[in-house]
Amino acid sequence: MDAKDIGEIASWLMQAGLKGMTEVDILSGFCEQCRLHGLKLDRAMALMDTLHPVYEGRAFRWDGNQVIEREFEYGPSHQGIASENWQRSAFYRMLTTGDDEVRRRIGFGEPTDFYGLDTLLADGHTDYIAMIHRFEEGGTIGEMDCFYSNFATAADVGFPEEDLRVLRKLTPALALAIKCTGMSRIARTIAEVYLGEDAARHVLEGKITRGKTERISAALWFSDLANYTRISDTAEPDEIIPMLNAYADAVISSIHEAGGNVLKLIGDGTLAIFKARNSADACAAALMAESLLRQRLRDLNSQRQIEGRPVTDVYLGLHIGDVFYGNIGSMDRLDFTVIGPAVNEVSRIASMCRSADRNILMSSNFVDALSGQQSNDLVSVGRYALRGVKRPQELFTLLSSAA
């Protein structure tokens, strides 16, 4: 492979990164380009840690001769069998020794002492090389501090030195292209995790101007945990965070499954919106989320009781109204959220659950927006004065909740 060939492959990698191709397609395209230009590659893998609340990183694989799993996410590498496999890998060896590459001519008697090399040998591969490309401090986010890659060939002679020279020259460009896409993925993940899917989409579309809002009509959800203060005062300190996480997962999963968007977590409280083309559909989605939540709570409380752990319930207020949806804050700290009287009212409605001895309360506006059949399942609990609201409001609950 001459300089012209190397230049063509490097150019392809730059274009792939600029186009935002997926990481697995970048790796596959790179390997196919190498084969097209005479470099005998038969298998490759690349991986890079990421910034994600569940996964430690993502790995991408390519095989020129058989169908394999092309992409997978991996969890923490410091526990269980994953830790054992990681510590047996060539990547771990380089990370701990400071080496930049490891090679094993497995088809010529060299040891299969790293994880996976025995499988490569059994599949007919003869030569293996692994590389690590470390990022400087300014290019590191979380645990994403380097790019790992390995390549194998089944050629009778293994990797000629010329092929290794080409791989060493081109792999940094591969790392940069995959990192480019990985950074975009991290940005989306962070935005969605901390802002919610819908708000994240607005932000990533460039709607980050301070004071830039739109007026929307939405069904509003505000919920919090029943008796949280009492539980937090009596439960063991190391029980509090797992308990909050368990109940928050039940609430958030139910909202998302019904098509809602969680905008804010306020201690043990959750603010969410349901948007739809018409008010009836938005309110119906909120009630679907409530139904999903009650089932999850039954299952969660049953399991926690078996484990001898504290249990609780969720108080929920539902309302509908016009709100301003967008960026509120200072020049250097913005919050993408909803504001308006309806937001204050829904939180006040939720707080009335304790006084009314109900786990769900809905405003008359919310009930009026429902279709006739859905409203048949509701019953009034009377008129209540809501703090900060001029006139008493008639509130409703589900018949099942009132029983």
Interval 136-171: pLDDT, tens = 888 888 778 899 999 999 999 999 999 999 999 999
Q: Please give the residue that has the higher pLDDT: either 138 or 266.
A: 266
Nearest C-alpha neighbor of 154 from the set 201, 122, 200: 122
User: Over 50: is that where the pLDDT of 35 sits?
Assistant: yes
Look at residue 403 in the predicted model and tell me its pLDDT: 45
**At what angle are helices 161-195 and 197-204 packed, to 10 degrees?**
120
Look at residue 44 in the predicted model and tell me its pLDDT: 97
Calculate the average pLDDT of the chain: 90
User: What is the widest separation between alpha-carbon atoms in the chain?
Assistant: 86
Residues 6+ apart with CB under 8 A from 202: 326, 336
User: Over 50: is that where the pLDDT of 121 sits?
Assistant: yes
Distance CA 180, CA 27 (A): 13
Reported as a pLDDT band with limits 50, 70 and 90, residue 293 is very high
Distance CA 265, CA 348 (A): 16
DSSP 33: H
Distance CA 152, CA 100 (A): 17
Cα dihedral 66, 75, 149, 170 in deg (nearest 10): 100
Nearest C-alpha neighbor of 173 from the set 133, 127, 130, 145: 133
Could you count the other beta carbons within 10 Å of the beta carbon of residue 390? 7
Per-residue pLDDT averaged across 64-73, rounded? 88
The CA-atom distances, in angstroms, between 174 and each of 11, 100, 250 are 11, 16, 41
Query: 234: which 2 tokens?
Result: 């009596």
Per-residue pLDDT averaged across 4-11, rounded? 92
Looking at the chain, the whole-number percentage of residues with pLDDT higher than 90 is 61
Per-residue pLDDT averaged across 283-296, rounded? 96
User: Over 70: is that where the pLDDT of 373 sits?
Assistant: no
Look at residue 401 in the predicted model and tell me its pLDDT: 65
Lowest mean pLDDT, pick from 92-101, 199-208, 260-269: 199-208
pLDDT in tens, 303-323: 999 998 989 999 999 999 999
Find where tokens 């009314």 sit.
356
Look at residue 335 in the predicted model and tell me its pLDDT: 84
Which sign, positive or negative, has the C-alpha torsion 186, 189, 193, 199?
Answer: positive
pLDDT in tens, 345-361: 999 999 999 989 999 99
User: Over 80: is that where the pLDDT of 65 sits?
Assistant: yes
Look at residue 283 in the predicted model and tell me its pLDDT: 95
